[in-house]
Amino acid sequence: LPGKPFGSTNTNADGVIHKSNHQVKADGYGHAVDLYPYVNGKVDYNGDAALITIADHIMTVAKDLKIAITWGGNWKPPVAPVDKPHFELKQ
List interacting residues with Zn ion (CB under 5 A): 34, 86
Using DSSP bridges, classify how beta strands 42-43 and 38-39 pair: parallel, antiparallel or unpaired.
antiparallel
Q: How many CB atoms lie within 10 A of CB 44?
A: 15
**Shortest Å, Cβ 37 to Zn ion:** 15
CB of 8 or CB of 40, closer to Zn ion: 8
Instruction: Report in angstroms how near the CB of residue 83 gets to Zn ion at its nearest.
Output: 6
Closest to Zn ion by CB, 34 or 44: 34
Minimal distance, residue 61 CB to Zn ion, in Å: 19
Which is closer to Zn ion, CB of 7 or CB of 41? Answer: 7
Pairing of strands 69-71, 86-89: antiparallel
Distance, CA of 2 to CA of 49 (rounded, Å) = 12
